[in-house]
Amino acid sequence: MRSYLRPYLGIDLGTANTLVYMKGKGIILNEPSVIAINKETSELLKVGKEAKKMIGKTPANIIAVRPLKEGVIADYNVAMTMLKYFINTALNGFSFFKPSVVVGIPTDATQVERNALREAALDAGSSKAFLIEEAMATAIGAGLDVEEPSGNMIVDIGGGTTEIAVISLGNIVLSKSIRVAGDLIDQEIINHIKSKYNMVIGEKTAERIKIEIGNVFDSPQYSDLSMEVIGLDVLSGLPKSVTITGSEIRNAMRVPVSKIVENIKLAIEETPPELLYDIVNRGIFLAGGGAMIKGIKELLEKETLIRVVIADDPITCVARGAGMVIDKINLIKSISQKA
From the CB of residue 240, how many other CB atoms can be counted at a distance below 10 Å? 18
* Crossing angle (nearest 10°) for helices 182-197 and 254-270: 150
Residues 6+ positions from 143 with CB-CB distance below 8 Å: 311, 312
- CA 150 → CA 206, 214, 287, distances in Å? 40, 35, 20
61 is in an annotated binding site: no
171 is in an annotated binding site: no
100 forms beta bridges with 8, 128
208 is in an annotated binding site: yes
209 is in an annotated binding site: yes
Angle value at C-alpha 17, between 325 and 200, nearest 5 degrees: 155
259 is in an annotated binding site: no
Q: Could you tell me which of 69, 17, 56 has the C-alpha nearest to residue 318?
A: 17
| CB-CB contact of 128 with 36 (8 Å) | no
159 is in an annotated binding site: yes
66 is in an annotated binding site: no
Q: Give per-residue burial for 150-162: e unless 16+ CB within 10 Å, then b.
A: bbbbbbbbbbbbb
Half-sphere exposure of 66 (CA within 13 A, CB side): 24
185 is in an annotated binding site: no
DSSP 8-class letter at 312 = S
Question: Strands across the sheet with 8-13, in order?
Answer: 26-32, 17-22, 8-13, 100-105, 128-133
15 is in an annotated binding site: yes
Angle value at C-alpha 32, between 165 and 179, nearest 5 degrees: 35
> Strand 284-287 relative to strand 152-157: parallel, antiparallel, unpaired?
parallel
17 is in an annotated binding site: yes
| CB-CB contact of 154 with 165 (8 Å) | yes
List residues forming the annotated binding site for ATP.
15-17, 159-161, 207-210
Can you say which residues are annotated as belonging to the binding site?
Answer: 15-17, 159-161, 207-210
